[in-house]
Amino acid sequence: MSMQNVKYKETFTIKTYEADFLQRAKPITILAYMQEVATNHASRLGFGYEDSYQNGFIWILRNSKYEFDRIPKLDEQLEVYTWPVGLDGLKALRRFEFKINGELVGHGYTHWLMLDLLKNKPIISEYFIRKMEALYMDQNDIFQLRKVPACSQGKRRKEIMIDHTFLDWNMHVNNIMYADLISSALTFEEVEQYDITSLQIEYLKECRQKDVLELYVESRKNHLIIEGRKDSEAMFRALLELKVR
């Protein structure tokens, strides 16, 4: 199978409810597109949610990142390409490309873990290995994501309680909903004055219903670090790259 066959594509038109007051695609919109195409592609390749569950493991997102040369806007059609690129230790790697009218405007990256249903610990599933052996992987596509720095000098901006609207079918906070938590920690002036050209989220601990999170924000040059803490323990960290509009 050629690399072209391994790539999978879906096209999304950015709706009014997926854009902010400046008509830019919201961070949660981009993460939702990434999650949708990755889920659909994994199912087509035979290691989606149902196949994985039947073979004793589930997928856990450990790290995600996207970066754009320009932010997609309301009514634009965003072509989202994705493909798996292999393993790095226990992490399964997946890449993304974003195009508008055929022009490359951004990239995306995710690290996934396979969690054993019985032992509740990360594994490398033999079932997944067999499925991947049928695909051609380009070693040049292997990538590393740096850890998001701790928010050591951050200031507490807000407190939020997790309710049922954040939850997925596993009863923990859906991966994409962290983007709303992150966005809620920004001031109106920050959102108005800057484009978020890059967003990386490191998922550290599961967040569940009735968890109370304190959101801390630290500014470093053209970056913001946002950290969600429960009882002083970091549950997630995010690194935002900002560009003056």
> Can you tell me the mean pLDDT for 46-74?
95
Domain final residue, candidates 141, 170, 198: 141
Calculate mean pLDDT across residues 199-209.
Answer: 96
Domain that holds residue 109: 3-141
Cα 89–chain centre separation: 20
In the chain, the number of structural domains is 2
Indicate the residue among 117, 141, 165 that finishes a domain: 141
For residues 134 and 190, membership in a common domain is answered with no
Same domain, 232 and 192: yes
4 pLDDT above the threshold of 70: no
Same domain, residue pair 13 and 102: yes
% of the chain with per-residue pLDDT over 70 = 98
Q: Are 41 and 33 in contact (CB under 8 A)?
A: no
130 shares a domain with 11: yes
CA distances 127 to 51, 153, 154, Å, are 9, 44, 43
How does pLDDT run across 27-54, given as a tens digit for each residue?
999 999 999 999 999 999 999 989 999 9
The 10s digit of each residue's pLDDT in 89-110 is 999 999 999 999 999 999 999 9
Residue 126 shares a structural domain with residue 20: yes
- Mean pLDDT over the full length of the chain: 94
Is the whole model's pTM more than 0.85, yes or no? Answer: yes
Same domain, 17 and 90: yes
In a domain, 54, yes or no: yes
Kindly tell me if the per-residue pLDDT of 231 is higher than 60.
yes
